[in-house]
Amino acid sequence: MGEAQSWLLHAFLQFLNLINTNTFNMDKVKLKQALIELEKHTIDEAEINYEEFLNVNLINKGDVVDDDDLSHHTSSLEVSNQLDVQVHLHQEHLEALNKISFDPTEVVQPGAAVNINGRFMVVAVSTPPFNFDGKEFIGISVQAPIYPYLIGKKAGDTFQFNGRDFTIKSVD
């Protein structure tokens, strides 16, 4: 076998290996940055909502206050606290993202991008669906109910969750 044929055979075998491992080689640095930007945007929106809510619902010290006003104020405090919790939750998400390694990996772990039955997820923090690299992703945290079934799995592994069968197509 000549040198050119040997090289061609080697390249073909590498190609087959890529197909068999179902990798989808993405830029994980860009994926991490996309998640960070998503969290920053969510924090900004939550802070604006919180400030707008407070501006509309605070009782001024000079106002005459009756029982109905106090009842609305108490309800407003509960909503205000929930909005504040959302701001802090997403700040914690941002801190967590900055600590997670998004290095390439062959097993499901924090920082892994995973294709399961054609659906893409990233193990980091919980997020609503978002588009990255032409694919729709969802972020899950290690506290997600499905994560214990995923941890340590590789491309080609299968598992059952909520009575359904799943196949891990790829891990990056």
pTM of the model as a whole:
0.72
Closest Cα to residue 59, out of 73, 75, 77? 73
The domain over range 6-171 is classified in CATH as 3.40.190.10: no
Q: What is the spatial distance between Cα 109 and Cα 172, in angstroms, rounded to a whole number?
A: 10
What residue spans define the domains of the chain?
A: 6-171
Residue-wise pLDDT tens digits, 73-121: 566 677 777 888 888 898 999 999 999 999 999 999 999 999 999 999 9
Residues 6+ apart with CB under 8 A from 91: 43
The tens place of each residue's pLDDT in the chain, 172 residues long, gives 544 444 434 344 444 344 344 445 679 999 999 999 999 999 999 889 888 877 776 656 666 555 655 555 566 677 777 888 888 898 999 999 999 999 999 999 999 999 999 999 999 999 999 999 999 999 999 999 999 999 999 999 999 999 999 999 999 9
E strand or H helix at 21: helix 3-21
